[in-house]
Chains A and B, each alone.
Chain A
Amino acid sequence: MNDAPQSSKSRGSNRPAVDPVTLSVLWGRLLSVAEEMGSTLRRTAFSEAVREGDDFSTGLFDRHGRLVAQGNFTPGHTGAMPYVVMTVLDFFPPETLRPGDSIFVNDSRIGSGHFPDCFMVTPAFDDGRLIGFACNTAHHVDVGGPHPGSQEVRGVSEAVQEGLRIRPIKLIREGEFEPDLLRLILGNVRFPDKVRGDLQAQRNANHVGGRRLVGLHREYGTDLIEGVIEEILEHSEKRMRDRIRELPDGTYTFEDFMDDHGPGSDPIRFHVEVTIKGDGLLIDFSGSSDQVPAGINCYINYTRAYSTFAAKIMSEALVPQNHGSAKPLQAIAREGSYFNAVYPAPSGGRSANPQRIFEVVVGALAPIVPEKAIAAFSHFSNPNVGGMDDRTGENFLYYDMIFGGLGAQSRRDGIEGLSPVMNCTNIPVEILEARNPIRIRHLGFIADSAGAGKFRGGCGVRKDVELLNSSASLCNLGDRHVHQPFGLFGGKPGRLAETILNSDDGAIALGSKETRMLKKGDVVSWRLSGAGGYGDPGERDPAEIEEDLADGFITEEGAKRDYGYNASKRAD
């Protein structure tokens, strides 16, 4: 997998070429298999994260375990998936697999970096002959550990504290769940019904994927399908390498900081060196901080997933995501560093990292690809509030994903209120209130929070939530409370984020990764940072400033401060 940055000849180059027409049509078919797996998973899932938040992914692999096609899902999963399938095959060589078997794994090192992400890998057989694999990942609602949701950061010093760790096991044997294993898993999680439901949904998805793959092989013949796959992988790799070759050779560095890994701790250094040499691109995070004794570390698969995603966006985003296009992009980090954490480094809250990995890689490449550069985003917030629901006597978990704006780009303002790289949906206010003892008091943009620039960043977003239950535990997961989202090419940074707890005792500021007990009537206010601007604010079109004033994205005071614009003197 760790192919050096140089061009390589892929296997089977002597086979006859597949004609472009067949290639085009069958490639579409293969993609549609991964998509259909996704729609099956979504529609039969039980947890909010999967069914409302789209926090899952699907992929189709050839019999060698190489990624062929993926659905349009979250890159942290899709980027880790190739490594997962390879590792699973080390544990379960093809000859140990039978039709209907599925391998389950949620280990942080093998999987996508924290225990809630559960992978299922299912071989597809046509008449007893292995023809490929279907794989999917779903973010499960809970896998045990000290805090509901299994994503606590502070006070977690070892991965064994984070809940159930499962290295590859054969969870499904010839189509049926192993009852003992299932009992073991469900006996160690907080919401066994949802976990069981999501596991079934995962099985359904891979079942559909395998069935479709068999159908394709029968219709077109294995030789042709495999020829198409080779051709696609080669095309994708070539196109990626061609594009990288157009970029100037050199080493490009960038650095930013995560605020801390819990109240009172030091900042975490995000240091990246991107080296372009010929047609290969190497991303090295070795100069970053050491792994930390808190549930936030990045395992290497996760680092790879988001750093190569960023490099792909900055070079040639439209190349299909597969083994071929991934080959020229390599991501490494010093063992024991924050970005290549070693077991038992804890990592439950690692979802604070992806957009920040993306941002520094983009920051490094910005000078050579300014037209594709994007300034830093609003950092999102991913709080978990859990406890015993007074009304039912059962556990509840209010899991939220609060998204602000994107950073400004070379030709436009940062897009307002859009999911950053991981690409999930928000969860509707009315759904959250119907399911949890909470009332949401406010949800909206924060005026004057965006980083100024010729193009401004997206605004920060504020969400206020009141606890209606007698008590609950908040596990906060955000950032940018100390280090502002950066701007590019003269664009200004966005305003800092805050988490404010309003209770009888007045208002206090909480840490971005703090864990805290809440009582009835407490209102937690998450105020995300604004995103960074692009270009000199002095070059901003006054008409745009007027529009922002009219829409309340900036105030007259803000216009004056950020742009020296005097709103009272406008002509009309």
Chain B
Amino acid sequence: MIRVAFDIGGTFTDLVQQDTRTGRMVAHKIPSTPAELSRAVMDGLSTLLRRCDTEAPDVDSVFHATTIATNAILENKGSRTGVLTTKGFRDVLLLGRQKRYDTYDMYMGKPEPLTRRRYIAEVNERIAFDGAVVEPLALESVDEAAQGLLAAGVESIAVCLLHAYANSAHEEAVAARVLERAPGVNVSLSSKVSARIREYERVSTTVANAYVKPIVERYLTDLENSLRAADIEPDLLVMQSNGGLVSTDLAKEYPVRIVESGPAAGVLMCGVVGREEGFDHVLTLDMGGTTAKMGAIDDGEPAITSEFEVGAIHYRKFSGLPLNIAAVELLEIGAGGGSIARADGGLIEVGPQSAGADPGPMCYGAGGTRPTVTDANLVMGYLNADYFNGGAMRIDAAAAVTGIETAVAKPLGLSVGEAAWGIHAVANGNMERAMRVISVERGRDPRNYALVAFGGAGPLHAARLARSLNIPTVVVPQGAGVGSAIGLLNADSRIDVSVSRIFALDGESDRRIADIYRELEARAAEDVARLRSDRPLVWTRYAYLRYLGQGFEIKVDLPDGPIAEGYADRVASAFHEAYERNFDYRDEEAGIEAVDWCLAAVIPASVDGDPTVLGDDGEMSAASDDGERQAYFEEAGGFVPCRVVNRFRLAPGDEVAGPAIIEERDSTTVVLPGDNARISPRGHLIITVSLES
């Protein structure tokens, strides 16, 4: 089978083709074309197919990850969105949760909502927390409100009524009425998009869905047409934030579910690489130009969270717009190659401001005036000025030196080398804090995990991060620079549905849980039908539970099998175990309360992780020469001679002892003194980290 995957990022579009019969994979990377995203895809595809001698009609599957929804949100490029809500609650979206994400900043604004007060209108109705109708829906109020919104040029409408998670009848009636009066308008219902308690988070999610729906719809339709015009006929499958693929049909209906499309695919890739190398527990690091993203794989499965904020700053709660979607658990911080360094009050600070790709680091010579992490890595000798981005880019090393000297070294009385090391170390420290949150704070012992690092800068920083957290192994996968695209090839299809039903577990609960899952299965079945797959389906249940009286729920995987007598007890034991894993204690006496019930329908990937080796058709090894240069290793006391190796000249079984630098086209790996790197039979680079004690 010929499988093709592409991941459109802000800067680059990555494409890979895999031939499952030969186990050979070829990667291709080209600049994205933001004005017309599908152009880079189509150009890239034709080059890639040519490189692989593949005819377009021979392509069997096409997978896609995209930042289109995220970018529309972050750059305010979505559609004018109206909101219909319960009378008296027009301002829920604008009020938000009302907390400043930094106590000591009295000047900060709140995350900007995606619509304005003038486009929010009320309808007369009221439902109570238990789903009882307190006041019936007045259809004439719907007519009036909707008419006002449409007259104001609203293109998409979010319907978010109080307690709609408990009873969706009014929302459905509103939608029916609006569509009757204005066929063709886009409508998103909170009870469909996010049937969960807490009105602000639900309305925020639904508005985001409505906001990106038209743009995602147009984009995907466009892309499908272009593919068909190029004789690529198979259905396009799109990666969602939960790490599962869906049909374009569903992606268009629930575009809010694809906001973390690319990052989720990256985490999947780490899971596959971990599996190939025998690691069930994996921490992931994806460090690019502006941010670093950290995630986790437990027992071979990417960790999924239900709390996600788009545009969050330094993973601080309330700094972004909350989205109630199932998303691969990722912490994102402003630590990338472009993060700006400065001296401040005797300390070195790095990020979250970034020079991005334009003007970029000072060494790009494109107008950057403040030193960045990339400049520091260049000064330390980690990056090769003659082989930057595969030699495609000329680098101005002197500018990096001057920048670091002025902004950091002189104010702190350090040498340039020490200052560069300081910048590197502080960036690592920032990542370490985030990595600690996602590991130790969330019940994951780093000593039992391997760190899979990718993205342009991930492999450069990974070994020190691993040391500081006592992670014994670092894996730098083959194709680290096109990780998300590779992840797509191995993805399952997956639908997550959830509903809030709050009650304490007791003798009556078995029947109740059974009813909830009947309802969820029926809801998921609608979506599953639209996946257009005839392969077998696996149902997975999970829920968010807490001790009775607590306010913070934890995710608990629920037992499989029929929900019959005794099931609630099994749910309770699963909760106790999960709680103890997270917080080191359990309280068998306390009651347990359920909040959200979730169901995932998974169609496993048709090809189960056959070993695939990244082929080299000359593009890859057209690379740097092996050799030696001075590089800064604080562990060795400063600048020392360091071996430099081209990764594509290493064969499985080859070993490289640190200190060493392993270069490839899109990425650079640093091997520390005392550590040892080897190429595995699968082609991945495995670093054994020497840990103290």
Q: Which residues of A contact B (CB under 8 A)?
A: 19-21, 23-25, 27-29, 32, 36, 39-40, 42-48, 50-52, 54, 72-75, 78, 193-194, 197, 204, 231, 235-236, 239, 312-313, 317-319, 321, 372, 374, 403, 406, 409, 412, 415-419, 421, 423-426, 428-431, 433-434, 439-445, 461, 464, 550-553
Contacts and interface: CB of A to CB of B under 8 A. Distances in A.
12 contacts: A19-B418, A48-B551, A204-B585, A321-B104, A415-B108, A419-B99, A426-B98, A429-B199, A430-B129, A443-B91, A461-B95, A553-B117
A403 B103 contact: no
A421 B106 CA distance: 8
A24 B347 contact: yes
Contact of A72 (B102, B108, B199, B412): B102
Interface in B424-471: 425-426, 428-430, 432-433, 436-437, 440-441
A288 to B, nearest CB: 23
A47 B550 CA distance: 7
Nearest to A28: B429
B88 A441 contact: yes
Contact of B95 (A313, A317, A417): A417
- Looking at chain B's contact residues, is the secondary structure mostly helix, strand, loop, or mixed? loop
Contact of B99 (A50, A318, A425): A425
A430 B200 CA distance: 10
A374 B337 CA distance: 37
Contacts of B318: 425
Contacts of B107: 372, 409
A50 B430 CA distance: 27
A19 B134 CA distance: 66
B522 interface: no
Given A20-B414, A24-B422, A551-B117, A417 B98 contact: yes
Contacts of B126: 439
B90 interface: yes
Contacts of B106: 313, 317, 374, 406, 421
Contact of A439 (B128, B165, B412, B437): B128
B143 to A, nearest CB: 20
B163 interface: yes
Nearest to B436: A32
Interface in B178-200: 197-200
A23 B347 contact: yes
B426 A25 contact: yes
A405 to B, nearest CB: 10
A21 B348 contact: yes
Interface in B120-146: 126, 128-129, 134
Identify which of B88, B165, B197 gathers the most chain A CB atoms within 10 Å of its CB: B88
B426 A24 contact: yes
A549 to B, nearest CB: 9
Contacts of A443: 88-89, 91-92, 95
Contacts of A426: 95, 97-98
Given A313-B106, A426-B98, A443-B92, A40 B552 contact: no
B110 interface: yes
Identify which of B163, B421, B429, B582 gathers the most chain A CB atoms within 10 Å of its CB: B429
Interface residues of B, number: 72
Contact of B98 (A194, A374, A419): A419
Given A415-B109, A444-B88, A444-B89, A43 B99 contact: no
B551 A44 contact: no
B50 interface: no
Given A20-B348, A21-B426, A28-B432, 10 more contacts: A39-B441, A42-B552, A75-B103, A197-B549, A239-B345, A312-B104, A415-B109, A418-B98, A426-B97, A429-B92
Nearest to B201: A428
A217 B116 CA distance: 51
A43 B585 CA distance: 13
B551 A21 contact: no
Contacts of A317: 104-106
Given A193-B549, A235-B347, A431 B198 contact: yes
B437 to A, nearest CB: 8
A354 to B, nearest CB: 12
B94 interface: yes
A25 B554 CA distance: 31
B88 A442 contact: yes
Nearest to B348: A24
Contacts of B102: 72
Contacts of B95: 416-417, 426, 443-444, 461
A378 B200 CA distance: 21
Contacts of B428: 25
Nearest to B350: A24
The 6 tightest CB contacts between A and B, nearest first, are A51-B551, A444-B91, A21-B422, A442-B88, A551-B117, A417-B95
Contacts of A235: 345-347
A308 to B, nearest CB: 12
Nearest to A426: B98
Nearest to A402: B98
A433 B500 CA distance: 14
B658 interface: no
A479 B346 CA distance: 43
Interface in B486-516: 502
A73 B440 CA distance: 22
B148 interface: no
B422 A20 contact: yes
B141 to A, nearest CB: 16
Nearest to A380: B98
Contacts of B554: 43
Nearest to B91: A444
B94 A445 contact: yes
Given A20-B412, A43-B583, A417 B105 contact: no
B249 interface: no
Identify which of A318, A425, A445 gathers the most chain B CB atoms within 10 Å of its CB: A425
A419 B98 CA distance: 5
B609 to A, nearest CB: 35
Contact of A51 (B162, B437, B552): B552
A75 B583 CA distance: 27
B279 interface: no
Contact of B104 (A39, A48, A313): A313
Contacts of A43: 552, 554, 582-583
Contacts of B105: 317
A317 B200 CA distance: 30
B547 interface: yes
A48 B98 CA distance: 16
Contact of A419 (B100, B118, B128, B197): B100
A40 B118 CA distance: 40
A21 B117 CA distance: 48
Contacts of B103: 72-75, 78, 423
A429 B162 contact: yes
A43 B349 CA distance: 30
B94 A417 contact: yes
Contacts of B108: 415
B403 to A, nearest CB: 17
A433 B422 CA distance: 52
A28 B430 contact: yes
Given A417-B98, A425-B318, A443-B95, A20 B347 contact: yes
B96 interface: yes
A203 to B, nearest CB: 10
Given A28-B433, A44-B552, A194-B549, A417 B91 contact: yes
Contacts of B316: 72
Given A40-B583, A231-B346, A434 B550 contact: no
A32 B433 contact: yes
A193 B249 CA distance: 49
A79 to B, nearest CB: 11
B583 A434 contact: no
Contacts of B426: 21, 24-25, 28
B92 A418 contact: no
Contact of B550 (A75, A197, A429, A442): A197
